[in-house]
Structure 1
């Protein structure tokens, strides 16, 4: 994540800042400029070309301060949310901002990596067949299954609650579970659906991840009945990745984003003196030369604070091949 600064007083800022805590300037996020910019008392910002932008209409609902092209309208991130909790769902609305924050973080990552994302609404320049949409649903009154289908990502807003998420993580014996992780994983399914096309890519994908045509429900049942196969650590990034080739790809994609984003953040804040991730010839060089020593150091720092490891995973050689493959699907802007 980029290290943002206030254009008025040069104070350090973070992506979710809506006001500079130093000088009090109201802020909006300009997606085209990849910057937090000052907005006037009416929530307007005029860019270098003379275009007038407005703070998103959902500022008070979800904390979104991204800039929208129309006064009283939504920004490009909020446009991707197809379904949200109803106005009378108090619990769902409490959890809604954390999910939207994770979605905005994901979109900034994808912009940085050069992957253009469009919605499904043709009235907003979307693609009904290949575009992306999010259903952010509250499980207060209904069962919500996190997943992806035909460009629609469903997220259970209960996962915004730390106690609930930790309980599920412990039940499933997972080493890691976050809202941002859910968004990265589910987007991995969408990415495979969109990017792995053509005989050569399909063949290489199957070589690395397995035959995706195997029955998903049968493999899901096998996974929960039997657990991961012995020695899974030698070929997979997580136990869930062993369930089905689709899940192996999505887990690998999520870890690609974990690694790329953390390395870029460390670089932005002066912890690393390296070129941007996109400047490396192969992503495996980022993993072996930068990420492995960095993650070891971060884990030790967390342990020094009595906390769990930041990155409780081991990257085996076959996983490195998979990470290199998924990274190669994107242009990786330098």
Structure 2
């Protein structure tokens, strides 16, 4: 993720809606993928129009001005009251509960970070208004509670985070750090984050769009296995017996060993972790042992689309150097490793396949 610069010269971050130095209003421009200072347009103040640094006019997303859970803008020629991120929502939390607004804000932060990377990779993002059957959508749902023992509430229906034909469902509790950490301990996971959920579930969406009906499914099966095996049986076996005994030698995570679809989704999410973090490191001019970290999300001179001009080998070498440094810094602070993974040769081949799949999609 890049940082941005205000007109006053101060650094701005992706989530900012106001410059803390000069106080100017900010908005993210989805058509430019940039955070910009905004100036009320004198001739159109009644219409709520703002002029961005690129000279074009925008309106605030409805979820920006009404709930302050978004900082994206809508171009003047776009008549939708929601920005490209918020219009992907099919279900938002119950806003009668004031605590839910904060949780919804956390959800939107993670979702917009996912979308930034997807847009930078020139990946197709088709909403459910355009494709009602398999377009991308997000439903933020709460566990259904019931009062069984006086005033003690128990969970009647538990919301499972998952994906179905483009619709990504997330349990609102995942936006609460304490609840997420509790689930991480119960599931014996070394890494569980909100952005990780979004990236993982988006992997299922892109398997349907990029692999399922393409020639790449043959290579997919060679690397990940046959996705036609029973998912329910694989899931039951995983939760009854745990991951495969040798999962570290084959899969990127224990959960990836459950089924080829989950292997792909975990690998996809991991790749998005890599390119976003490397872009951040490159943006702050980070170098490690004399090696400058390169930005994997750069303009390619040969095609009119954003994608990496860096080979996968260069990308992975930068990643290895960066994660060793990150883990060392965390240990100095008495914190858990920022990157608690070891990539096997087999998992590396799967990451390369994701890289090549995205590269093919971006260049065609």
Shift of 1:223: 0.3
Question: How do residues 1-334 of structure 1 correspond to structure 2 at under 5 angstroms?
Answer: 1-6=1-6, 8-41=7-40, 44-46=49-51, 51-59=56-64, 60-69=66-75, 73-121=81-129, 126-139=130-143, 141=145, 142-198=157-213, 200-272=215-287, 273-277=292-296, 278-281=308-311, 283-287=312-316, 289-331=317-359
Structure 2's unaligned 5+ residue stretches are 146-156, 297-307
Q: TM-score by structure 1 length? A: 0.92
SS at match of 2:358: coil
- Does the 8 Å contact 1:84/1:135 carry over to 2? yes
- For residues 310 and 141 of structure 2, what CA distance do their matches in structure 1 show? 39
Shift of 1:130: 3.5
Shift of 1:279: 1.1
How many residues are paired up?
Answer: 327
- Does the 8 Å contact 1:2/1:268 carry over to 2? yes
Q: CA RMSD in A?
A: 2.0
Instruction: Give the strand-richer structure, 1 or 2.
Output: 2
Q: TM-score by structure 2 length? A: 0.85
- Does the 8 Å contact 2:278/2:294 carry over to 1? no
- For residues 237 and 310 of structure 1, what CA distance do their matches in structure 2 show? 16
Asked which structure has the greater CA Rg, the reply is 2
- CA 268–48 in structure 1, closer or farther in 2 if over 3 Å, else same: closer
- For residues 159 and 112 of structure 2, what CA distance do their matches in structure 1 show? 21
- For residues 215 and 190 of structure 1, what CA distance do their matches in structure 2 show? 19
Superposed CA offset, 1:75-131 (max 9, x none)? 11000011011232334333111001100000001111121312011xxxx222342
Shift of 1:49: 8.1
- For residues 219 and 175 of structure 1, what CA distance do their matches in structure 2 show? 22
- For residues 50 and 237 of structure 1, what CA distance do their matches in structure 2 show? 45
- Does the 8 Å contact 1:91/1:140 carry over to 2? no
SS at match of 2:67: helix
- Does the 8 Å contact 1:235/1:319 carry over to 2? yes
